[in-house]
């Protein structure tokens, strides 16, 4: 792959993937499927589409490996990487919130003192706890956060919610919102003529 080709990164699987592809198509970009390859070339010039894990995208952007990316605000803020938001995309809207079992004695944020909170967003949760002067134990896990109270791993969870159906299934109720999130188009500080022209296309 040529180093001078422009690169756009999106989530390789998950809730942002299809909407991201639809957005790029609406901008006039069409990419050629390449079997199981995670790199697809565009029919519109020297542009490649890169499929990455969402957690890895901020690293690629901040290091200048990719020129543009579509990522959730929640992931971008959690990773604390240098990336510049140039457009909100108005899809993949969700909320990062604190939830507890419906029969829990935890009714408000202050009740989280000395409790265990499971999350895949430890940095955002830590910031929330410090801001609200709450002393809780953060239990970092990789997924399936909603089952941790049932298994007595945690007293509460901090997780992304879209419809709320998963909370209902596991008999959880929200007690506070931490962050409203949606898909963002991001870039880094490097810029050249070709990248500027692609930026203009993506901002139309």
pLDDT in tens, 55-112: 999 999 999 999 999 999 999 999 998 899 999 999 999 999 999 999 999 999 999 9
3-state SS of 7-53 is EEEEECCCCCHHHHHHHHHHCCCCEECCCCCCEEEECCCCEEEEEEC
Rounded Cα distance, 101 and 175, in Å: 10
- Who wins on pLDDT, 84 or 1? 84
Let me know: does 72 contact 94? Beta carbons within 8 Å: yes
**Residue ranges of domains in the chain, CATH in brackets:** 6-92+182-202 (3.40.190.10), 94-181 (3.40.190.10)
pTM, full prediction: 0.90
Rounded Cα distance, 94 and 121, in Å: 14
Sheet of strand 31-32: strand arrangement? 31-32, 39-42, 47-52, 6-11, 68-72, 183-187, 84-88
pLDDT at position 3:
62
pLDDT at position 114:
97
Instruction: Give which of 168, 179, 15, 181 is closest to 97, Cα–Cα.
Output: 179
Rounded Cα distance, 21 and 23, in Å: 5
pLDDT at position 65:
94
How do residues 4-54 score in pLDDT, each as one tens digit?
Answer: 799 999 999 988 999 999 999 999 999 988 877 899 999 878 999 999 999
pLDDT at position 81:
86
Rounded Cα distance, 202 and 27, in Å: 6
C-alpha neighbours within 13 Å on the C-beta side of residue 4: 4
3-state SS, residue 69: strand
How do residues 119-173 score in pLDDT, each as one tens digit?
Answer: 999 999 999 999 999 999 999 999 899 999 999 999 999 999 999 999 999 999 9
107-138 b/e with 16+ CB inside 10 Å = b? eebebbeebbbbbbbbebbebbbeeeebebeb
pLDDT at position 15:
87
3-state SS of 135-175 is CCEEEECCCCHHHCCCCCCCCEEEEEECCCHHHHHCCEEEE
pLDDT at position 2:
54
């Amino acid at each position: 792959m040529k180093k001078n080709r422009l690169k756009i990164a999106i989530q390789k699987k998950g809730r942002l993937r299809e909407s991201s592809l639809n957005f790029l198509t609406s901008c006039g970009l069409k990419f050629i499927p390449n079997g199981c390859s995670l790199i697809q070339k565009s029919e519109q010039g020297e542009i490649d589409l890169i499929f990455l894990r969402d957690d890895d995208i901020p690293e690629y952007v901040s290091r200048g490996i990719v020129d543009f990316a579509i990522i959730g605000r929640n992931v971008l803020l959690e990773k604390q990487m240098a990336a510049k938001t140039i457009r909100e995309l108005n899809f993949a809207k969700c909320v990062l919130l604190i939830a507890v079992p419906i029969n829990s004695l935890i009714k408000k944020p202050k009740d989280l003192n000395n409790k265990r909170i499971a999350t895949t967003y430890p940095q955002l949760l830590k910031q929330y706890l410090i801001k609200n002067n709450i002393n809780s134990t953060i239990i970092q896990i990789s997924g399936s956060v909603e089952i941790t109270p049932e298994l007595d791993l945690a007293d509460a969870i901090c997780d992304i919610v879209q419809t709320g159906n998963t909370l209902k299934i596991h008999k959880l109720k929200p007690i506070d919102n931490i962050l409203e999130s949606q898909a963002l188009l991001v870039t880094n500080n490097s810029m050249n003529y070709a990248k500027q022209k692609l930026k203009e296309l993506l901002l139309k």
